[in-house]
Structures are given as structure tokens and as C-alpha cells.
Amino acid sequence: MRVAKKPGLVSGGSLLPVLKNRVAFEVARGIKAFLNVELGLIRGETPGAESGLTDAKADTREKDTRVRQLGQIGRRLAGRARTVAEPAAGDGAQDNRVRPENMIWIFGSGRSGSTWLRSMMSDMERHRVWEEPMVGQLFGVFHKQAQEGQLRSANFIMGEPTRKGWTRSIRNFVLDGAHYANPRLGPDDYLVVKEPNGSTGAPLLMEALPESRMILLVRDPRDVAASVLDGARKGSWLYERKDKGRWKENALADTNPEAITRRRANMYMTQVGNARDAYEAHEGPKVLVRYEELRADTLETMKRIYSELGIPAGDKDLTRVVEKHSWENIPEENKGEGKFYRKATPGGWREDLTPKQAGIVEKITAPLLEEFYPA
């Protein structure tokens, strides 16, 4: 569609001498530079019909461009549809979508034993794992950082006036993501979502998936801080692995351990605090697990977890997975100070933290410490 009608001055009928010169040459693949010059004399009024021809030519050029653009877009979308359909080919993408009631979310905080718990659960029959999708981070942190004015606005993508709509969008987003990450998940399979580092978004996720199951896994915040401090020291596993937490750049565990302790305690408050809020509001099957209980009597705690979540689990199977993933079965060379598997000793913080560091954690996490670990 042409927007502005420009006077078409090129004429055919009643013309006096006209000079026309058109030059075009290719400057890059598929791109031409052009120069058109026309000059001359014309008698009488500007011919309407010829003016119409100029406009029609311009319109045609614009339509040609649109045809090319749409062709390109159509080809891209067709390619996308093929790629997207592939994982579900033959078994129907919609039928194969994860059943929300079969999702088991593990929330809490990092260094609380979530890797151990999900390892045991992943070896149960018909269980699969979605490993730290961070979808709770994606939505939770963004929502938490929003200004009050934004939250009140219907324009804001996560504004309160349209909460119902975007909650439904989050639900679809999560279910689609779960399907793509686990395309072979059967209709009766369970999907264990290990999401401790996405716990900031736990309330939003549980609101979006009210029928799913939830495990709130907590650990004494002082032991959590001690574990992080150990891992972040120069040469330790957190410090040495790819620098996602900027541990090397900051090197705080060695230069300013109090700062990293404070940061970690604040993170614990946000993550465990939000996970706790989600747990309280959640109406689907749920269970609260303390890491210390899991360490003290793993089999009984696992039985309790499955019982409270309403998932059938035989004693034999539970005994098998508990045995397989026991602390004793981790090779000695993979355990110890500075390693991912460190000491697994509740209360170890008394040896690991200085009184000042312990005080920092206790002050910041006081409400949760009091709730989950009353003196």
C-alpha cells in the first residue's frame, strides 16, 4: 500500500524532448545500486493516466517486496514447525504433554541436599528428572524486582490486573518446557523438577500448577552458608567450575568471607522464604523435609515423602535407591573439603564458621531459623 502519492511526471503522449537514463549494478549478492534520471519538457496538464501508471508501478514494487518477505517468513515458520514437531512425532505432542499432577517440585535453597534427594527419586520406577530449569528464577526474580507502579499496571507483562492471564501463560510455558526437556516422558511417569535455585518463583509456579506435588526441602542456614563458603574458596569446586557465579572475579570467600556469608544468608531468606510461602498456600499434595531428618533416617523419610505426596512406592524400591545413593557409596576421592560432596554432617557449621559468620547468618535468617530450627 502506498502511503504518499507523489506527482508522477513521466509522460508519454504530449511530450517535448525527454532525456531518460537508468543505471543499475550489483554491489553485493542480491543487492543492486540504481540511479534513474528523467528530465524534459511537458505540455499541458500532468497526464492523469500516466501519473496513475507511475503510482501503480510503485505499488507493484511494494507488493513484490511484501511477497518476498512473506515467502521468507513462511519458509522459516514451516521449518520451525517441523523442528518443533520432531520430538513428539508419532505420539502426538498434546497427548504426550506432562501431566501437571505428576510433576514433583523440589524447592528450598542450594546446598540443601536436593541433588541427593533427586538422585534417589530418579531411580524410582517411572520417574524422570528435569534438572534445574530455573523457570522459577525467570519469572520469580523478574516479578520480585518489579516496581509497585508496574505491578499495578495492566500494561506490565506481569501486572496484577491481568494476573489470571499471565498465570495461565506461565502454566503453558512450564508444561511446554517440561515436554521439550523430557520428550519421552510417558503419561503415567512422574517428573521430578529439581529447582532449589528457582525457589524465588515458587509461589508463582505453584499458583500456575496447583495440582502438582511439592517438596519443601530445608536445611540449617548455617550449614548452608558453611557449605557455600567452603565451595567458593580458591581451588574448591564452586570456584573452579565455569564462572557462572563470578566466584573467581569476586574471590570473596578468601578475601571477604563475611560478605559472601551475608550474601548467602540473604539469598536463603529469599529462596526458602518464598518456597515456604508457596508451601503454605499450595493445596496440592506436599511435604516438608528437613535435610537433617533425611540424613538421620533416610529410608523412613523417603517413605514419608512418598506417602504424603500420595505416590505409590514399594519398600523394596525405596531401600534400593537409598542404598545406591548413600553417603557411604560415594567414592572417597569425590568427598571432602572443597568438593561437591563435602561432609554431610548436620551441625558442622560449629567447626566451619567463625562466631562472627555464624552471627551474621543467625541475624539475617532469624525468622526461618526460628520456624524450622527452634532452639
Partner 1 sequence: MPVYRQNILLEVARGIKAFLNFEAGLTRGPTPGEGGGIQSLEEAHKRLEDRNRQIAELEKKVRESRSDAPAGDLKPENVVWMFGTARVGSTWLGSMMDEPTGHTMWHEPLVGALFGGFYYGRGAHRGGKHGILGGPDEKRSRAIRAFILASAHEKFPEVSGDGYLVVKEPNGSNGAPLLAQALPESRMIFLVRDPRDVVSSNLSGKSEGGWTAEAYKRGRRQGTPPPSDPKAIVRKGAKKYLEFIGRSKEAYDAHEGPKVLVRYEELRADTLGTMKRIYSELGIPMDEDEVARAIKKHSWENIPEEKKGEGKFYRKATPGGWREDLTPDQIQMVEDITGPLLQEFYPEQQISRAGV
Task: Establish if 242 lies at the interface with partner 1 (CB under 8 A).
Answer: yes
CB 98 within 8 A of CB 191: yes
Residues 322-328: contacts with CB under 8 Å, at least 24 apart: 322/120, 322/298, 324/120, 324/123, 325/116, 325/119, 325/120, 325/123, 326/298
Task: Establish if 141 lies at the interface with partner 1 (CB under 8 A).
Answer: yes
Question: How far is residue 262 from each of residues 39, 124, 145, 167, measured CA to CA in Å?
Answer: 78, 38, 20, 33
Task: Establish if 249 lies at the interface with partner 1 (CB under 8 A).
Answer: no
Task: Establish if 147 lies at the interface with partner 1 (CB under 8 A).
Answer: yes
Task: Determine the longest span between alpha carbons in the chain, in angstroms.
Answer: 105
Q: Which stretch binds partner 1 (CB under 8 A): 99-107, 108-116, 153-161, 249-257?
A: 153-161
Number of residues that bind partner 1 (CB under 8 A): 94
C-alpha torsion angle, residues 293, 299, 302, 303 (rounded to 10): -120
Q: In angstroms, rounded to a whole number, what is the distance separating the alpha carbons of residues 190 and 128?
A: 6
Query: With respect to partner 1, which residue has the nearer C-beta, 3 or 375?
Result: 3
C-alpha torsion angle, residues 95, 100, 104, 105 (rounded to 10): 120
Tell which one of 90, 95, 148, 332 touches partner 1 (CB under 8 A).
148
Query: With respect to partner 1, which residue has the nearer C-beta, 147 or 329?
Result: 147
Query: Residue 243 CB, nearest distance to partner 1 (Å)?
Result: 9
| Near partner 1 in 79-108, by CB under 8 A | 79-81, 83-84
C-alpha cell at 210: 496447583
Query: Residue 249 CB, nearest distance to partner 1 (Å)?
Result: 14
C-alpha cell at 20: 531518460
| Near partner 1 in 277-336, by CB under 8 A | none
- 3-class DSSP state of 24: strand
| Near partner 1 in 8-67, by CB under 8 A | 9-10, 16, 22, 24, 27, 30-44, 46, 49, 52-53, 56-67
Tell which one of 135, 225, 265, 360 touches partner 1 (CB under 8 A).
135
C-alpha cell at 286: 506436599
What is the strand order of the sheet 127-131 is part of? 127-131, 190-194, 103-107, 213-218, 286-290
Q: Which stretch binds partner 1 (CB under 8 A): 96-104, 132-140, 232-240, 279-287?
A: 132-140
C-alpha cell at 90: 508419532
Tell which one of 162, 250, 319, 345 touches partner 1 (CB under 8 A).
162
Task: Establish if 375 lies at the interface with partner 1 (CB under 8 A).
Answer: no
Query: With respect to partner 1, which residue has the nearer C-beta, 9 or 311?
Result: 9
Q: Which stretch binds partner 1 (CB under 8 A): 73-81, 120-128, 337-345, 348-356?
A: 73-81
